[in-house]
Structure 1
């Protein structure tokens, strides 16, 4: 099978048009009332590895629907005037998500260089989610 564009190329193109925060920049934003971190990883990843404190969990598969105010799945958090900082495990999904949401018109979108793995390895604060049965 031959693809017109690889997933790596998609991520590179997305990364070229979005804001990428360094770990240091992201850590300085943690806890600010006008900033919302958004974890787009699968719920299993979140439960196994924890998350960034205060992050809103929005699974990648539903993200565009949760952001769209005309969607029946809209989540009010995305209607707030905040800076949104998206992250996934390694910054590939968050690059694609940030680019898509920026294209949709969501303002103040960024993602974290290296993703959650880099955050965790750098000693960033971690929260353990409550496990639901």
Structure 2
């Protein structure tokens, strides 16, 4: 039986920590937390991003999280909690599950994505129009 994208997101959501926009915004500025924006660059240009967030497009996540990869981002190392978000919460759920499968356990995602962070008052950069 073929699984739909919706099925995969539902499965991922059961295996990971999910934060509301309000709970995630409370973590902004916490030095033990790194926000990771997994949207595409074009999305950031249109809507901006959470201030201080690291941008890692979903398609590059595994390579930038892998410490043996030449494109590894150091933000994925260490003991910091990673809080992922996207445009709606679906890609970030899948990405968080993938990171857990890679052995990165201190990871969560934001239900509702960037719009939920904005609604909760998260500080964001301006869109690059």
User: Fold match, TM over 0.5?
Assistant: yes
| TM superposition shift of 1:27 | 1.0
TM-score, scaled relative to structure 1: 0.91
Question: What is residue 126 of structure 2 aligned with on the other side?
Answer: 128
Computed over aligned residues only, the root mean square deviation of the Cα atoms, in angstroms, reads 1.5
State the partner residue of 2:7.
Answer: 9
Q: Of 25, 28, 31, which aligns to 1:30?
A: 28
* Aligned pairs, number: 129
Q: Is the 8 A contact 2:24 2:117 kept in 1?
A: no
Structure with higher Rg: it is: 1
Q: How far, CA to CA, are the matches of 1:82 and 1:72 in structure 2?
A: 21
The whole-number CA distance in structure 1 between the counterparts of 2:119 and 2:25 is: 13
Higher relative contact order (CA 8 A, sep 6+): 2
Unaligned runs of 5+ in 2: none
List alignment gaps of at least 5 residues for structure 1: none
Where does structure 1 differ by over 3 angstroms across 4 or more consecutive aligned residues?
none
